[in-house]
Each structure stands twice: as C-alpha cells, then as structure tokens.
Chain A
Amino acid sequence: MKCEKRSPLRMILTVVTLIAAYLIVSVPFKVMEIIPGFTDIRPVSMLQPVYGIFFGIPGSLAFAVGNLITDILFDSLRWSSIAGFIANFLGPFCFYLYWGKLSRTPFALKTMKNILRHVAVIVVVALMEASIITPSVAISYPEVDFGLFFGMVMINSVAFPILLGIPLLIVMSEELGLKALTVNKGHRKDSRE
C-alpha cells in the first residue's frame, strides 16, 4: 500500500484549487434560470463524492467553503447558510467515511454490486443533507414551500451524483489514476491492489 504524507502548504493549495473548481462549475448555474420555475439546479453536486473520496477532509472543507462563497457572491447569505455549510461538509465527508473506513472493500466502481452500494450511499447522504438544510430554510423563509424545497435538495443531491458523478468517478479512478483515501491515516489506498 502506497502512503503519501501531505504538507500543510500542499493541503492549502489543494483546498484552494478545489474551491476554484467548485466555483467554475457552480457560478454559471447561479447566474441564470435554465428551467423556469426551478431556481436552483446544482450539477455541482456531482463533485461531492469526488471531493470526499479522493480528497477526504480537505475536499469536504473545499465543498462547504465553495458553497458558502457562492452564497456570498449571489447575495443569499442567511442564517440558514450555517446549516448549508454543515450539510455540504458532511456530504463529501460521508463518502470519505464510507469508502475509506466502513466499506470492507476498497473503492472501485467495477461491479454492479459496488455501483449499487455507492448509489445507496448517495441516497442516504441526500436524505441527511435535506434533513439538515430544509428545517433551517423553513425557519429563515417561512414563505418557502417546505416539501418542494426538500424535494429539490433530494433531486439535486441524488440525480447529479448518480448520472454525472459515477462516470466522473470511474474516469478519475480508472483512467486518470486518482486513488481513494482511507480514513484512519489519511493515506491513499490503491483500489487496484
């Protein structure tokens, strides 16, 4: 098993790069309303498993900070952003936790069984995020339709990580050579070993 110790400077650079990638993907979707009536389409959710599985805690932090910066840039910074920050940190972290520690097999989406396990994690993470964000939004904005908002969070957090995130993970792990992290020592575990 190969180990990689990362210096604080490299970790900061990783976080900054990941935040930049988050903003590049998320900002165009904030500028415009692609489908009238659906104000918040977030394909950036596809990056959630990628940030968690390949970058661990720095990745989780970058995802949460990226979301917070987007809130600041588009004038939607409210008290509910605290819940958003927590949910957006915990989302990638859960993928890191599952594939890095809880799963008995290393991360590899090579079989239908493993892909279905990954889909199950996506659904659980989406439920957790929707359960954290929705109550805080309901308190901050009483006029918001509680059920619709919960549904939107679920759709964004399930559809994009499955439809776009899984192929992205496959290419990154199988073709670009990125390796999943393990939780206990923060080193990389080669899924092909």
Chain B
Amino acid sequence: MNKLQANLCLVCVTLLWSTEVIIFACIPDSVAPFATTAITSMIGGVLLLLCFFKRIKTALKNGGKKLLLTGVLLSVLNCGYNVMYQYGLKKFDVSSGAFTISMTVVILPVILMMKRQNVDKKTWVSAILVLTGIVISYLGKLGTISVPGLLMLIGGCVIRAYYIIRLNEAAREFDPVPLSALIAVIVGIFSFVIWFVMQPATFGAIEWDTRIVASLFIHAYFIVMFAQTLNIFAQRNATPAAATIIYSLEIIFSLIWGMTMPASIVTPITPDVFMMIGAAFIVLGNLAEILSFKRKAVKRL
C-alpha cells in the first residue's frame, strides 16, 4: 500500500466513523452505550477470528505476549478517550463539540516533537490550517463555551493523540488483522464488564427485535471489523500526524449528515458563516496534507 492508497483508506475510515451516529440512531436509547460497544466489538472480533483464524493463530504463536500487551494498552487508551469524549461532549452543542475534538490534530505533532520525532513542515502547515478552522468556528460562541467540558475534551484529545501514535507503531510492528481482532475482543470484554456493573441483567435487559439485531450487526461489520482493520492497515503506511489530519474530516462529514439527514436520525445543524469558513480551513488543511506538490515544483524548475 502506498501513501495515496493509505490516505484514501483513512478517508474511508473517517467516513465510516462519521456514519456511527446514523447507525446509533437506529438503536433505542434503552440499549446502554456500553452494551452496544460490548456486543458489536465481540461480533467484529469473532468474525475476524473466523475469517483469519490461521493468520491470527500464527501471530499469537510468534510474539503473542507482546501482541497481547499492546492490544490491552490500545484498548485501554481507546476506552479512555471515548469515555472522556462522551462526558465532555455533553457540555457542548453538536457542532462545537465536533470541532473541538479535532484539536487532536494540533496536540499530536506537539507530542511527537516532545518525543523528539521529526514532523514534516507540510504537517505543521496542515495542523495550523485545521486549528485556524476550529478557532474560527468558535467565533460568536465564545460566551457559551463550558470550561470543564473543554478541559475534558482536550484531555480526551491528548489520550487520543497518544493512542494514534501507539497504534501507528503497533501497526508497523504487528500484523494488522490479529491486532484488530485482539483490540475488538479486549474492548468487547472491558465494555461487557462495565455493562454488567451498570446493568447486571445484561442481554436480558434488552428488548430484542430485528431492528436492534440488524443495527448491531451493521455496526459490527462496518465500524468494528472493516473500519478498524482498514485503519490499522492504512496507519502502517501513513504517519500518525497525517492520519490525524485526515481524521479531522469527520467534522465535514458530520456537518453534511447534520444538514441532509432527517432530525429523527441526526441533530440538525444549520451552519453559520463562521462554521462554513472553519470547515473550509479544515478541508484546506487536509488537502495540504493529502496532495503532493513536489512533482509540480520539480517541473517548474
């Protein structure tokens, strides 16, 4: 997989993640969020195990302990930033929250710099463009920003940035398929434990119907099995900073869903001028990262 292919895969992963709200809208509120995560992660993990049994068995034989520890660490980080996002987002309206969680784009290069790793000039340009977009989207809403919520989201962004860096390292070290299966199973187990503590009846507490079953399977195939595995394959061939910048496209997709989908599915968004300009800066930041200008520059010389 080359860089262009990796970038395309990351765009696809971001698109799939953005559709999560649409899938969740089909699941009744009576189904706890941890129940959804537990069930879909387990289904995704088991399906990966069934499809790639030999590959996973071989990976676990050769360096299984290290793979397992990496899987546990990534799952803990994954659960950690998701919980912080969940609580932080409650203090924000949908659009401001979505723009704020893109702060990872700026935090990640800073963490890389602290780890004394090189960051491309192009990536800094993209990060600054995305940050400008986030700041512009805030204009006109400055008085309504909740400081505890903001701190919670920034904390989540720091954990997510560290998660992306560790995932990128792990993707280069291990086979992405067993890694993805392992993360799915461990996240499934963690979520099940929390679900059990919060709702001891677990599966018995859900009023099952075909709609819930179908939604859970759709989430398991597309978000857990496909997007997660695709993400790890793409991360292998992309830098963590480039991946994070592409992930920021999720805001654009969310804006599109918010403007086009019925209110019964997604909270409607009526974008103001600041939001539109902010979104334009984010797209520019992405284009600066994805497109290569090197060849044209050589031709001009």
Contacts from A to B (Cβ < 8 Å): 24-25, 27-29, 31-32, 34-37, 43, 109-112, 115, 163-164, 166-168, 170-171, 174-175
Contact = CB atoms under 8 A, between A and B. Distances in A.
Interface in B22-55: 22-23, 26
Contacts of A168: 226, 230
B151 interface: no
Given A35-B22, A35-B261, A35-B262, A112 B9 contact: no
Contact of B221 (A25, A37, A166): A25
Closest A-B pairs by Cβ, 6 of them: A28-B214, A167-B12, A31-B214, A174-B1, A167-B9, A170-B5
B261 A170 contact: no
A112 B261 CA distance: 31
Interface size class of B (residues with CB under 8 A): 20 to 34
A38 to B, nearest CB: 10
Interface in B223-239: 226, 229-230, 233
A34 B22 contact: yes
Contacts of B15: 163
Given A32-B210, A36-B265, A43-B222, 13 more contacts: A24-B221, A28-B217, A31-B213, A31-B214, A32-B211, A109-B5, A163-B15, A164-B12, A166-B8, A167-B8, A168-B226, A171-B229, A175-B1
Contacts of B13: 167
Contacts, number: 68
A32 B26 contact: yes
Contacts of A27: 214
Contacts of A171: 1, 9, 229-230, 233
Interface of B: 1-2, 4-5, 8-9, 12-13, 15-16, 22-23, 26, 176, 210-211, 213-215, 217-218, 221-222, 226, 229-230, 233, 261-262, 264-265
22 contacts: A24-B221, A27-B214, A28-B215, A28-B217, A31-B210, A31-B213, A31-B214, A32-B26, A32-B210, A32-B211, A32-B215, A34-B22, A34-B26, A35-B22, A35-B265, A110-B2, A115-B8, A164-B16, A166-B8, A167-B8, A167-B9, A171-B229
Contact of A29 (B1, B22, B218, B261): B218
A167 B246 CA distance: 15
B4 A110 contact: yes
State the main secondary structure of chain B at its contact with A: helix
B4 A112 contact: yes
B59 to A, nearest CB: 14
A110 B6 CA distance: 10
Given A28-B217, A31-B211, A111-B4, A36 B9 contact: no
